[in-house]
Amino acid sequence: MAKYKIDLDALAATFAVAKANTDALGIGLLMALKGFPCPPAFSTVAPYLRGVTASGLFEAKLGALMGRDVHVHAPAYTAEEMPEIRRVCTHVVFNSLAQLKAFGPETAAAGCHVGLRINPGFSFADCLKYDPCCPDSRFGVLPEEFRAFLADPANAEAVASLDGLHVHALCEGYSEAFATLVERFSGQLKAFLAVRPLALKWINLGGGETINQPGYATEQAIAAMKGLKALGAFEVFIEPSEYLVRYSGTIEAEVLDVIHREKDIAVLDVSLVCHATDAIIYDMKSEILAPAQKKGGRKTILGTVSCLAGDVIGEYEFARPLQVGAKVVIGGMGCYSFAQQSWFNGIRHPDLVMVSKGKGEETAISWTFDDYLKEFVRG
Protein backbone atom coordinates (compact mmCIF):
# COMPACT_ATOMS: atom_id res chain seq x y z
CA MET A 1 0.00 0.00 0.00
CA ALA A 2 1.20 3.49 -0.81
CA LYS A 3 2.68 5.58 1.99
CA TYR A 4 3.68 9.16 2.57
CA LYS A 5 6.92 9.11 4.52
CA ILE A 6 8.30 12.10 6.40
CA ASP A 7 11.96 11.75 7.38
CA LEU A 8 12.15 13.61 10.69
CA ASP A 9 15.96 13.63 10.69
CA ALA A 10 16.08 15.23 7.23
CA LEU A 11 13.37 17.65 8.33
CA ALA A 12 15.39 18.78 11.35
CA ALA A 13 18.52 19.18 9.24
CA THR A 14 16.74 21.48 6.78
CA PHE A 15 15.20 23.54 9.57
CA ALA A 16 18.66 23.96 11.09
CA VAL A 17 19.92 25.41 7.80
CA ALA A 18 16.89 27.71 7.58
CA LYS A 19 17.37 28.90 11.15
CA ALA A 20 21.05 29.65 10.49
CA ASN A 21 20.04 31.72 7.45
CA THR A 22 17.36 33.69 9.30
CA ASP A 23 19.69 34.27 12.25
CA ALA A 24 22.30 35.69 9.86
CA LEU A 25 19.65 37.94 8.32
CA GLY A 26 18.35 39.02 11.73
CA ILE A 27 14.78 37.87 11.11
CA GLY A 28 12.32 35.46 12.71
CA LEU A 29 11.34 32.15 11.10
CA LEU A 30 7.68 31.19 10.73
CA MET A 31 6.31 28.14 8.91
CA ALA A 32 3.29 28.34 6.60
CA LEU A 33 0.98 25.49 7.55
CA LYS A 34 -0.72 25.31 4.14
CA GLY A 35 2.09 23.13 2.81
CA PHE A 36 2.71 21.06 5.94
CA PRO A 37 -0.28 20.60 8.28
CA CYS A 38 1.48 17.78 10.11
CA PRO A 39 1.10 17.76 13.93
CA PRO A 40 3.15 14.52 14.29
CA ALA A 41 6.18 16.55 13.14
CA PHE A 42 5.51 19.67 15.23
CA SER A 43 7.82 18.62 18.06
CA THR A 44 10.66 18.20 15.54
CA VAL A 45 10.31 21.66 13.96
CA ALA A 46 9.08 23.77 16.89
CA PRO A 47 12.56 24.50 18.34
CA TYR A 48 13.51 26.34 15.13
CA LEU A 49 10.35 28.45 14.82
CA ARG A 50 8.88 31.65 16.22
CA GLY A 51 5.49 30.45 15.11
CA VAL A 52 3.26 29.36 12.25
CA THR A 53 1.10 31.08 9.68
CA ALA A 54 -2.37 29.88 8.80
CA SER A 55 -4.73 30.56 5.90
CA GLY A 56 -7.91 30.45 7.96
CA LEU A 57 -9.51 29.45 11.24
CA PHE A 58 -9.13 25.68 11.02
CA GLU A 59 -5.44 25.90 10.10
CA ALA A 60 -4.94 28.41 12.90
CA LYS A 61 -6.48 26.03 15.44
CA LEU A 62 -4.22 23.26 14.14
CA GLY A 63 -1.16 25.52 14.35
CA ALA A 64 -1.97 26.46 17.93
CA LEU A 65 -1.12 22.88 18.89
CA MET A 66 2.55 23.76 18.38
CA GLY A 67 2.47 26.22 21.26
CA ARG A 68 4.08 29.06 19.29
CA ASP A 69 2.75 32.32 17.82
CA VAL A 70 -0.08 31.88 15.32
CA HIS A 71 -0.30 34.34 12.41
CA VAL A 72 -3.36 34.16 10.18
CA HIS A 73 -4.12 35.82 6.87
CA ALA A 74 -7.00 35.08 4.50
CA PRO A 75 -8.64 36.85 1.55
CA ALA A 76 -11.62 37.57 3.84
CA TYR A 77 -13.04 36.69 7.25
CA THR A 78 -16.65 36.37 8.38
CA ALA A 79 -17.94 38.29 11.36
CA GLU A 80 -19.01 35.00 12.94
CA GLU A 81 -15.50 33.52 12.96
CA MET A 82 -13.67 36.62 14.19
CA PRO A 83 -14.17 35.99 17.96
CA GLU A 84 -12.53 32.56 17.68
CA ILE A 85 -9.78 33.87 15.41
CA ARG A 86 -8.97 36.50 18.05
CA ARG A 87 -8.89 33.83 20.71
CA VAL A 88 -6.61 31.45 18.80
CA CYS A 89 -4.28 33.82 16.94
CA THR A 90 -1.56 36.20 18.08
CA HIS A 91 -1.35 38.05 14.72
CA VAL A 92 -4.32 38.71 12.41
CA VAL A 93 -3.64 40.06 8.92
CA PHE A 94 -6.44 41.66 6.93
CA ASN A 95 -6.50 41.50 3.16
CA SER A 96 -8.47 44.66 2.41
CA LEU A 97 -8.96 48.14 3.77
CA ALA A 98 -12.68 47.44 4.26
CA GLN A 99 -11.95 44.43 6.49
CA LEU A 100 -9.30 46.37 8.39
CA LYS A 101 -11.86 49.08 9.15
CA ALA A 102 -14.55 46.56 10.05
CA PHE A 103 -12.51 44.27 12.30
CA GLY A 104 -9.14 45.91 13.05
CA PRO A 105 -9.95 48.08 16.09
CA GLU A 106 -11.84 45.32 17.90
CA THR A 107 -9.10 42.80 17.07
CA ALA A 108 -6.45 45.10 18.51
CA ALA A 109 -8.60 45.67 21.60
CA ALA A 110 -8.71 41.88 22.07
CA GLY A 111 -4.91 41.87 22.41
CA CYS A 112 -4.00 40.61 18.94
CA HIS A 113 -1.42 42.13 16.64
CA VAL A 114 -3.21 43.60 13.61
CA GLY A 115 -1.67 43.52 10.14
CA LEU A 116 -2.55 44.53 6.59
CA ARG A 117 -1.49 42.67 3.48
CA ILE A 118 0.16 44.85 0.85
CA ASN A 119 0.23 43.83 -2.80
CA PRO A 120 3.50 45.49 -3.88
CA GLY A 121 2.54 45.43 -7.55
CA PHE A 122 5.47 43.22 -8.54
CA SER A 123 6.54 39.65 -7.94
CA PHE A 124 9.20 37.09 -8.79
CA ALA A 125 6.83 34.24 -9.69
CA ASP A 126 6.97 32.92 -13.25
CA CYS A 127 3.64 31.05 -13.19
CA LEU A 128 0.35 32.98 -13.00
CA LYS A 129 -1.32 30.21 -10.99
CA TYR A 130 1.24 30.76 -8.24
CA ASP A 131 1.73 34.52 -8.62
CA PRO A 132 0.20 36.34 -5.62
CA CYS A 133 0.60 39.67 -7.46
CA CYS A 134 -0.76 38.60 -10.84
CA PRO A 135 -3.05 40.94 -12.80
CA ASP A 136 -6.44 41.25 -11.08
CA SER A 137 -5.07 39.56 -7.97
CA ARG A 138 -7.45 39.39 -5.00
CA PHE A 139 -4.53 39.42 -2.55
CA GLY A 140 -3.66 42.59 -0.69
CA VAL A 141 -3.91 46.37 -0.93
CA LEU A 142 -2.01 48.23 -3.64
CA PRO A 143 0.55 50.79 -2.44
CA GLU A 144 -1.34 53.74 -3.93
CA GLU A 145 -4.55 52.57 -2.24
CA PHE A 146 -2.83 52.37 1.13
CA ARG A 147 -1.24 55.81 0.75
CA ALA A 148 -4.66 57.33 0.04
CA PHE A 149 -6.13 55.47 3.03
CA LEU A 150 -3.40 56.82 5.31
CA ALA A 151 -4.02 60.38 4.12
CA ASP A 152 -7.74 60.31 4.98
CA PRO A 153 -8.44 61.45 8.59
CA ALA A 154 -11.63 59.35 8.58
CA ASN A 155 -9.44 56.22 8.79
CA ALA A 156 -7.55 57.27 11.94
CA GLU A 157 -9.05 54.55 14.17
CA ALA A 158 -8.26 51.77 11.69
CA VAL A 159 -4.72 53.07 11.19
CA ALA A 160 -4.20 53.25 14.95
CA SER A 161 -5.14 49.55 15.27
CA LEU A 162 -2.47 48.57 12.74
CA ASP A 163 0.93 47.41 13.99
CA GLY A 164 2.17 45.18 11.15
CA LEU A 165 2.41 44.82 7.38
CA HIS A 166 2.50 41.65 5.31
CA VAL A 167 3.84 41.34 1.76
CA HIS A 168 4.19 38.20 -0.36
CA ALA A 169 5.83 38.34 -3.80
CA LEU A 170 8.10 35.28 -4.03
CA CYS A 171 7.73 31.80 -5.50
CA GLU A 172 10.90 29.71 -5.64
CA GLY A 173 12.61 32.92 -4.56
CA TYR A 174 16.39 32.67 -4.59
CA SER A 175 18.50 35.00 -2.50
CA GLU A 176 18.87 37.69 -5.15
CA ALA A 177 15.10 37.86 -5.64
CA PHE A 178 14.58 38.03 -1.87
CA ALA A 179 17.09 40.88 -1.53
CA THR A 180 15.41 42.76 -4.39
CA LEU A 181 12.01 42.30 -2.75
CA VAL A 182 13.35 43.77 0.48
CA GLU A 183 14.95 46.71 -1.31
CA ARG A 184 11.85 47.57 -3.34
CA PHE A 185 9.46 47.14 -0.42
CA SER A 186 11.70 49.37 1.70
CA GLY A 187 11.09 52.12 -0.86
CA GLN A 188 7.35 51.60 -0.61
CA LEU A 189 7.47 51.66 3.18
CA LYS A 190 9.31 55.00 3.08
CA ALA A 191 6.49 56.37 0.95
CA PHE A 192 3.88 55.11 3.46
CA LEU A 193 5.74 56.72 6.37
CA ALA A 194 5.99 59.99 4.47
CA VAL A 195 2.18 60.17 4.44
CA ARG A 196 1.68 59.25 8.10
CA PRO A 197 3.88 57.77 10.85
CA LEU A 198 3.02 54.15 11.62
CA ALA A 199 3.65 52.40 14.94
CA LEU A 200 4.83 49.20 13.27
CA LYS A 201 5.99 46.36 15.51
CA TRP A 202 6.50 43.75 12.79
CA ILE A 203 6.74 43.12 9.05
CA ASN A 204 6.11 39.74 7.43
CA LEU A 205 7.90 39.34 4.09
CA GLY A 206 5.88 36.26 3.16
CA GLY A 207 7.01 32.90 1.88
CA GLY A 208 8.45 31.38 -1.26
CA GLU A 209 12.09 31.62 -0.15
CA THR A 210 14.47 28.78 -1.05
CA ILE A 211 15.57 28.92 2.56
CA ASN A 212 17.03 25.40 2.47
CA GLN A 213 20.10 26.75 0.63
CA PRO A 214 23.05 27.11 3.04
CA GLY A 215 24.25 30.36 1.43
CA TYR A 216 20.89 32.17 1.36
CA ALA A 217 22.04 34.98 3.69
CA THR A 218 24.23 36.74 1.12
CA GLU A 219 25.87 40.11 1.60
CA GLN A 220 23.21 41.66 -0.64
CA ALA A 221 20.37 40.14 1.39
CA ILE A 222 21.93 41.16 4.72
CA ALA A 223 22.49 44.73 3.47
CA ALA A 224 18.92 44.94 2.18
CA MET A 225 17.58 43.75 5.52
CA LYS A 226 19.63 46.35 7.39
CA GLY A 227 18.17 49.01 5.11
CA LEU A 228 14.63 47.88 5.87
CA LYS A 229 15.20 47.69 9.61
CA ALA A 230 16.62 51.22 9.62
CA LEU A 231 13.10 52.47 8.86
CA GLY A 232 11.64 51.53 12.24
CA ALA A 233 11.88 49.53 15.46
CA PHE A 234 10.04 46.49 14.14
CA GLU A 235 10.68 42.76 13.90
CA VAL A 236 10.85 41.09 10.51
CA PHE A 237 9.56 37.60 9.74
CA ILE A 238 9.45 35.26 6.77
CA GLU A 239 7.03 32.35 6.40
CA PRO A 240 8.38 29.71 3.99
CA SER A 241 6.89 26.26 3.74
CA GLU A 242 7.85 24.40 0.58
CA TYR A 243 11.63 24.66 0.92
CA LEU A 244 11.51 23.85 4.61
CA VAL A 245 9.80 20.52 4.12
CA ARG A 246 9.80 19.39 0.47
CA TYR A 247 12.86 17.14 0.55
CA SER A 248 11.95 15.44 3.81
CA GLY A 249 8.95 13.73 2.25
CA THR A 250 8.44 10.87 -0.19
CA ILE A 251 5.59 8.83 -1.53
CA GLU A 252 6.37 5.12 -1.58
CA ALA A 253 4.25 3.38 -4.22
CA GLU A 254 3.93 -0.19 -5.50
CA VAL A 255 3.77 -1.43 -9.09
CA LEU A 256 0.41 -3.18 -9.53
CA ASP A 257 0.79 -4.09 -13.19
CA VAL A 258 3.12 -3.57 -16.16
CA ILE A 259 1.71 -3.19 -19.66
CA HIS A 260 4.29 -4.03 -22.35
CA ARG A 261 4.02 -1.95 -25.51
CA GLU A 262 6.51 0.19 -27.39
CA LYS A 263 7.31 1.49 -23.92
CA ASP A 264 6.54 -0.23 -20.66
CA ILE A 265 3.64 1.31 -18.76
CA ALA A 266 3.79 0.64 -15.02
CA VAL A 267 0.58 1.18 -13.06
CA LEU A 268 1.23 2.37 -9.50
CA ASP A 269 -1.12 2.35 -6.53
CA VAL A 270 -1.14 6.16 -6.31
CA SER A 271 -2.81 9.07 -8.11
CA LEU A 272 -1.45 12.56 -8.62
CA VAL A 273 -5.04 13.83 -8.64
CA CYS A 274 -5.61 12.36 -5.18
CA HIS A 275 -2.18 12.33 -3.59
CA ALA A 276 -0.03 15.05 -5.18
CA THR A 277 -2.36 17.58 -6.78
CA ASP A 278 0.35 20.28 -6.80
CA ALA A 279 2.35 18.14 -9.24
CA ILE A 280 -0.50 17.77 -11.70
CA ILE A 281 -1.70 21.39 -11.45
CA TYR A 282 1.80 22.70 -12.09
CA ASP A 283 2.52 19.95 -14.67
CA MET A 284 5.67 18.88 -12.84
CA LYS A 285 7.68 15.76 -13.61
CA SER A 286 8.32 14.09 -10.27
CA GLU A 287 11.73 13.03 -9.02
CA ILE A 288 12.09 9.25 -8.72
CA LEU A 289 14.52 8.17 -5.99
CA ALA A 290 14.14 4.40 -6.52
CA PRO A 291 14.53 2.10 -8.39
CA ALA A 292 17.78 3.18 -9.99
CA GLN A 293 17.61 4.96 -13.33
CA LYS A 294 20.06 4.67 -16.21
CA LYS A 295 20.27 6.72 -19.38
CA GLY A 296 19.52 4.41 -22.28
CA GLY A 297 17.60 2.04 -20.05
CA ARG A 298 14.15 0.64 -20.74
CA LYS A 299 11.71 3.54 -21.24
CA THR A 300 8.88 3.25 -18.76
CA ILE A 301 5.84 5.44 -18.25
CA LEU A 302 4.77 5.61 -14.63
CA GLY A 303 0.98 5.70 -14.67
CA THR A 304 -1.47 5.81 -11.80
CA VAL A 305 -4.44 3.81 -10.65
CA SER A 306 -7.08 6.46 -11.42
CA CYS A 307 -9.35 6.65 -14.48
CA LEU A 308 -8.05 10.05 -15.63
CA ALA A 309 -5.94 9.66 -18.78
CA GLY A 310 -3.69 12.56 -17.82
CA ASP A 311 -2.98 11.25 -14.32
CA VAL A 312 0.58 10.22 -15.26
CA ILE A 313 3.75 10.69 -13.21
CA GLY A 314 6.11 10.79 -16.18
CA GLU A 315 8.46 8.80 -18.40
CA TYR A 316 11.71 7.42 -17.00
CA GLU A 317 14.56 5.12 -18.00
CA PHE A 318 15.26 2.47 -15.38
CA ALA A 319 18.36 0.36 -15.06
CA ARG A 320 16.18 -2.76 -14.91
CA PRO A 321 12.61 -3.34 -16.14
CA LEU A 322 10.01 -2.81 -13.42
CA GLN A 323 8.20 -5.86 -12.13
CA VAL A 324 4.86 -6.20 -10.35
CA GLY A 325 5.42 -5.63 -6.65
CA ALA A 326 8.41 -3.33 -7.13
CA LYS A 327 8.60 -0.28 -4.88
CA VAL A 328 8.81 3.15 -6.53
CA VAL A 329 9.87 6.06 -4.32
CA ILE A 330 8.78 9.52 -5.47
CA GLY A 331 10.84 12.34 -3.98
CA GLY A 332 10.14 15.97 -3.13
CA MET A 333 6.73 15.19 -1.64
CA GLY A 334 7.11 16.76 1.81
CA CYS A 335 5.00 19.81 0.95
CA TYR A 336 1.38 20.12 -0.16
CA SER A 337 0.99 16.42 -1.09
CA PHE A 338 -0.91 15.07 1.92
CA ALA A 339 -2.35 18.54 2.56
CA GLN A 340 -4.25 18.50 -0.75
CA GLN A 341 -5.65 14.98 -0.79
CA SER A 342 -8.94 14.20 -2.50
CA TRP A 343 -10.98 11.02 -2.69
CA PHE A 344 -11.09 11.01 -6.54
CA ASN A 345 -12.33 7.59 -7.72
CA GLY A 346 -12.55 6.60 -4.05
CA ILE A 347 -8.80 5.91 -4.12
CA ARG A 348 -7.46 5.30 -0.63
CA HIS A 349 -5.09 7.92 0.79
CA PRO A 350 -1.54 6.77 1.52
CA ASP A 351 -0.70 6.24 5.17
CA LEU A 352 1.28 9.08 6.75
CA VAL A 353 4.45 7.63 8.27
CA MET A 354 7.04 9.43 10.42
CA VAL A 355 10.58 8.09 9.96
CA SER A 356 13.60 8.68 12.17
CA LYS A 357 16.77 6.81 13.08
CA GLY A 358 15.80 6.83 16.73
CA LYS A 359 12.28 5.37 16.41
CA GLY A 360 12.20 3.81 12.95
CA GLU A 361 8.83 4.02 11.19
CA GLU A 362 5.70 5.09 13.06
CA THR A 363 2.33 5.33 11.30
CA ALA A 364 0.62 8.58 12.27
CA ILE A 365 -2.50 8.30 10.06
CA SER A 366 -4.05 5.29 8.34
CA TRP A 367 -7.23 5.78 6.34
CA THR A 368 -10.24 3.48 6.27
CA PHE A 369 -13.49 3.15 4.32
CA ASP A 370 -15.26 4.85 7.23
CA ASP A 371 -13.13 7.95 6.65
CA TYR A 372 -14.17 7.93 3.00
CA LEU A 373 -17.82 7.38 3.93
CA LYS A 374 -17.76 10.37 6.29
CA GLU A 375 -17.01 12.62 3.32
CA PHE A 376 -20.48 11.84 1.96
CA VAL A 377 -22.59 10.66 4.87
CA ARG A 378 -22.82 12.92 7.90
CA GLY A 379 -24.46 12.25 11.23
What is residue 379's predicted lDDT score, i.e. its pLDDT? 57
Q: Is the pLDDT of residue 78 over 70?
A: yes
Query: Whole-model pTM?
Result: 0.94
Cα–Cα distance measured from residue 141 to residue 125, given in angstroms and rounded to the nearest whole number: 18
- CA angle in degrees (0–180, nearest 5) for 48-361-339: 60
**Quick one: average pLDDT of 51-70?**
97
Q: Are 209 and 170 in contact (CB under 8 A)?
A: yes
Alpha-carbon torsion angle 325, 329, 334, 337, nearest 10:
-50
For residue 337, what are the contacts with CB-CB under 8 A and spacing of at least 6? 4, 249, 251, 275, 276, 278, 279
Cα–Cα distance measured from residue 169 to residue 179, given in angstroms and rounded to the nearest whole number: 12
Cα–Cα distance measured from residue 199 to residue 163, given in angstroms and rounded to the nearest whole number: 6
Closest to 209 measured CA to CA, from 171, 249, 168, 248: 171
User: Within its chain, how far is the Cα of 240 from the centroid?
Assistant: 6
Cα–Cα distance measured from residue 93 to residue 194, given in angstroms and rounded to the nearest whole number: 23
Round the average pLDDT of the chain to a whole number and report it: 95
The predicted-structure confidence for 89-99, as pLDDT tens digits, reads as follows 999 999 999 99
The residue ranking higher by pLDDT, 131 or 211, is 211
Lowest mean pLDDT among 44-58, 246-260, 285-299, 363-377: 363-377
The predicted-structure confidence for 144-170, as pLDDT tens digits, reads as follows 999 999 999 999 999 999 999 999 999
Cα–Cα distance measured from residue 139 to residue 137, given in angstroms and rounded to the nearest whole number: 5
- Could you give all domains of the chain from N- to C-terminal order, each with its CATH number? 50-240 (3.20.20.10), 247-374 (2.40.37.10)
What is residue 133's predicted lDDT score, i.e. its pLDDT? 84
177: burial class by Cβ within 10 Å (0-12, 13-18, 19+)? buried
